[in-house]
């Protein structure tokens, strides 16, 4: 197989011109740094923010031309409004503006001005487009890394499946995808018509992750806009089929990915995972506050690594403290979903690609996750019209 070079990719892309560009996208400096991994090519194209939809044919042509290069196994081409290098028709005189009104891309909602409370005033609710076939979307997040969020996400998803639901998982952590290993899935997604990806599947769970597109050791050296565009494609250009619920495994923190999910899709709610110690709870509080600010219902807090039972003596040790997440949930008026112990079996089964809820579905640890899943689903089904609770931070 011939080696793929950036020069070969750029040569192909010089054939791509926009409807009102005086030149090709390479000469105009609209192509980002090109990332090549596992014979797959990744890059973005800068376009005016308000013309993203109208520029979709340009993206598809660029994608097709790159896939035609000998040796290329696939391409991920995204559109970004980030201004980098070249100019677009919004700010450059060498581009002719179209005479027709351009298609408008969805805009991020602006914070509403404070309104006086009166019976006549009815607040407007922004209608966000869902993911085709997906009825409910749940975000599982954490304020910081290392608290077991991805393991919790997988076992919550399997717990929801045990309730008889059709479940999918979207691995939104582009920089550190965990789902291929946690679910024991290898291989690459198939595509329909060379564009729409089919999700991978194991244990009856449909899954999509950047980890299926590149090798596990390959670092994703991407800037924010490209990550957001890739995440949008994994949501909307995947053949998810009919799902009762999608669990989104968020990256740690409160950055662009969390904001993109909150603004682009109608989240049924968010679950925050934390360990008991104060440092983790400080960061968990930030995650709770962020979701509350963007009006995403808070389904509750899970305390992971809550305690440890020594297998030889049966003695209990609160290695990271205990009960901190429960107390925080009570203080902030947020549901407390449950305590998950620190146990070798949970870690070993996760590393082996067979979650504990699959390995021993009637065991004590699986029952903890299933109880958490049941509490989450009960809230969604029983009070689907609720809004985020008011959280007061002292």
pLDDT at 208: 92
Contacts of 117 (CB under 8 A, 6+ apart): none
Supply 177's token pair. Answer: 């995808």
pLDDT, tens digit, 9 for 90 and up, residues 72-108: 888 878 777 644 443 333 333 333 333 333 333 333 3
pLDDT at 264: 75
Out of 24-28, 297-301, 373-377, 388-392, least confident range: 388-392
Cα separation, 43 vs 79, in Å, equals 9
Strand, coil or helix: 305 = coil
Q: Are 243 and 166 in contact (CB under 8 A)?
A: yes
Q: Are 264 and 228 in contact (CB under 8 A)?
A: no
Tell me the average pLDDT across 271-289: 75
**Residue 131: what are its φ and ψ, rounded to 5°?**
-95, 125
Cα separation, 351 vs 176, in Å, equals 15
Would you give the DSSP letter of residue 210? G
Cα separation, 210 vs 190, in Å, equals 14
For the beta sheet containing 167-171, the strands, ordered from the edge strand earlier in sequence to the opposite edge, are 200-202, 205-209, 167-171, 243-249, 134-141, 269-274, 298-303, 336-339
pLDDT at 250: 87
Number of H helices, E strands in the chain: 11, 15
Supply 196's token pair. Answer: 């729409």
pLDDT at 212: 86
- The segment with the largest mean pLDDT, out of 29-38, 306-315, 331-340, is 331-340
Q: 200 forms bridges with which residues in the sheet?
A: 207
pLDDT, tens digit, 9 for 90 and up, residues 106-156: 333 333 433 333 334 434 444 567 788 999 999 998 876 778 889 999 999
pLDDT, tens digit, 9 for 90 and up, residues 336-381: 999 998 888 888 888 888 998 898 888 888 999 999 999 999 999 8
pLDDT at 193: 74
Strand, coil or helix: 115 = coil
Out of 38-47, 116-125, 195-204, 265-274, least confident range: 116-125
Tell me the average pLDDT across 291-299: 83
pTM score above 0.85 = no
Mutual angle of helices 256-264 and 224-236, in 10-degree steps: 40
Cα separation, 42 vs 222, in Å, equals 9
Supply 36's token pair. Answer: 């090549």
Out of 91-95, 241-245, 384-388, least confident range: 91-95
Supply 258's token pair. Answer: 């969390």
Supply 21's token pair. Answer: 């560009």
In percent, the amount of the chain with pLDDT more than 90 equals: 25
Tell me the average pLDDT across 12-25: 85
Out of 11-20, 48-57, 138-147, least confident range: 48-57
Cα separation, 145 vs 166, in Å, equals 28
pLDDT at 10: 93
| 242-256 core/surface letters (b: 16 or more CB in 10 A; e: else) | ebbbbbbbbbbbbee
35-37 and 40-46 beta bridge pairing: antiparallel
Supply 15's token pair. Answer: 């054939």
pLDDT at 254: 59
Tell me the average pLDDT across 309-323: 81
Q: pLDDT: is 371 or 393 the higher one?
A: 371
Tell me the average pLDDT across 179-203: 87
The answer to whether residue 158 scores a pLDDT higher than 90 is yes
For residue 261, give the nearest of 157, 391, 131 by alpha carbon: 131
Q: Are 297 and 330 in contact (CB under 8 A)?
A: no
Contacts of 5 (CB under 8 A, 6+ apart): 36
Tell me the average pLDDT across 168-189: 88
Q: pLDDT: is 369 or 188 the higher one?
A: 369
Q: Are 248 and 118 in contact (CB under 8 A)?
A: no
Cα 123 from chain centroid (whole Å) = 28
Q: pLDDT: is 328 or 371 the higher one?
A: 371
The answer to whether residue 300 scores a pLDDT higher than 70 is yes
Which domains, and CATH codes, for the chain? 6-80 (3.30.300.130), 134-382 (3.40.50.300)
SS (HEC) of 225-273: HHHHHHHHHHHHCECCCCEEEEEEECCCCCCHHHHHHHHHCCCCEEEEE
The answer to whether residue 9 scores a pLDDT higher than 60 is yes
pLDDT, tens digit, 9 for 90 and up, residues 68-78: 999 888 887 87
Judged on CB neighbours under 10 Å (0-12, 13-18, 19+), 61 is: middle
């Amino acid at each position: 197989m011939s080696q793929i070079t950036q020069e070969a990719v750029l040569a192909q892309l010089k054939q791509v011109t926009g409807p009102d560009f005086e030149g090709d996208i390479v000469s105009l400096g609209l192509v980002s740094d090109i990332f090549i991994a596992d014979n797959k090519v990744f890059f973005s194209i800068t376009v005016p923010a308000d013309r993203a939809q109208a520029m979709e044919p340009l993206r598809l042509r660029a994608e097709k031309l790159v896939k035609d290069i000998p040796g290329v196994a696939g391409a991920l081409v995204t559109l970004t409004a980030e201004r980098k290098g070249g100019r677009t028709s919004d700010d450059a005189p060498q581009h002719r503006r179209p005479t027709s009104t351009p298609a408008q891309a969805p805009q991020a909602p602006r914070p509403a001005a404070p309104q006086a409370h009166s019976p006549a005033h009815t607040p407007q609710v922004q209608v966000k487009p869902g993911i085709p076939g997906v009825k409910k979307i749940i975000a599982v997040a954490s304020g910081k890394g290392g608290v077991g969020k991805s393991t919790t996400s997988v076992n919550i998803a399997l717990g929801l499946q045990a309730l008889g639901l059709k479940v999918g998982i979207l691995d939104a952590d582009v920089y550190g995808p965990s789902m291929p290993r946690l679910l024991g899935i290898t291989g690459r997604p198939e595509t329909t018509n060379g564009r729409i990806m089919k999700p991978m599947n194991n244990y009856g769970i449909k899954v999509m992750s950047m980890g299926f597109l590149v090798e596990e050791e390959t670092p994703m050296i991407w800037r924010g806009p490209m990550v957001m565009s890739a995440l949008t494609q994994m949501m909307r250009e995947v053949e998810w089929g009919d799902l009762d619920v999608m669990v989104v495994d968020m990256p740690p923190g409160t950055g662009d990915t969390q904001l993109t999910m909150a603004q682009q899709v109608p989240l049924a709610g968010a679950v925050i995972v934390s360990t008991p110690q104060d440092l983790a709870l400080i960061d968990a509080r930030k995650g709770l506050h962020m979701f509350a600010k963007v009006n995403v219902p808070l389904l509750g807090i899970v305390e992971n690594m809550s305690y440890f039972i020594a297998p030889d003596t049966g003695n209990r040790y609160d290695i990271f403290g205990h009960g901190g997440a429960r107390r925080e949930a009570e203080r902030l008026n947020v549901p407390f979903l449950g305590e998950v112990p620190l146990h070798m079996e949970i870690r070993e089964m996760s590393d082996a690609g067979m979650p504990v809820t699959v390995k021993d579905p009637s065991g004590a640890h699986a029952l903890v996750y299933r109880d958490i899943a049941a509490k989450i689903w009960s809230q969604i089904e029983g009070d689907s019209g609720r809004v985020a609770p008011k959280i007061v931070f002292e």
